[in-house]
Structure formats: C-alpha cells, structure tokens
Amino acid sequence: TEDRVITQNLFHILVRELSRALRGPSEGGFIPARIQRVREHIEAQYARPVKIADLAALASLSPAHFSAEYRHHVGMAPMEHVIELRLLEASTLLANRNLTVSEVASQVGYDDSYHFSKLFKKRFGASPRAYRGK
C-alpha cells in the first residue's frame, strides 16, 4: 500500500540521517564520492547479500584498502554498517505482529534466524521476541 511505501521511505531517510549523525565528521565531514556511492548502495540494498569484494569493486579499490577507507570516512566497517541497518529495520518490523521472527530475519537479509536473533540480542539487549513484547 502507499502508506507502507511512505513509511519505509521515511524509515530509510531516518536511518541514513541517524547513521550520519552518529558517525561524526571525518576530515571536516568530507566523504570521497566513491565511498559515498558505496555507502548509498549499502543503505539502499542492505537486505540483499553483501560481499566486501563487490563493495570494493564498486569503489574501484582493493578489499583491504576499501575497508580501511570506509571505516575512516563513515566511522564503522562496511559490514558493521550493513548489520546496523538490518537490525534497525528489524526493530521496526517487529512491531508488525503478523510477521514471525523468521520472516523479519528474512526480510532484512538473514537466512538463519538463530544468527539473526543472536545479533539482535547483542545490539538491543533483548531477543527479538522479548523486544517485541516491550
């Protein structure tokens, strides 16, 4: 529905702005275009499978150099960023009681709901089921 699309778009904007606010400025806030391009790609595609080699290729850098540059400019490693976005989206999706925890995990990019639950608990201090009950 249109409301769901609007809500998802607002959520993605909120996550993007929150991520920028939390990371703090790097070199006066400047992020090279190739790193920014990858960052925007991650923010738009975080629920899909992600490989550092693919992200590095998008930035035209070696995986090691890309990871270091991304961390320097964004304030977290690329995979940390992916996990953070996935878990933030999951915390929102858990409000929908029509979705099982496994369905939420799948929608944010995790095939293994046990792994998802473990990461979620580490990030939010509660399992997805317990978090949903709050």
d(CA 26, CA 40): 17
pLDDT at 23: 53
Of 81, 96, 106, 103, the C-alpha closest to 131 is 96
Are the beta carbons of 32 and 1 closer than 8 angstroms? no
**Per-residue confidence band for 132, with pLDDT thresholds at 50, 70 and 90:** confident
d(CA 81, CA 76): 6
- pLDDT per residue as tens digits for the range 17-38: 676 666 554 545 688 999 999 9
pTM of the model: 0.78
pLDDT at 25: 47
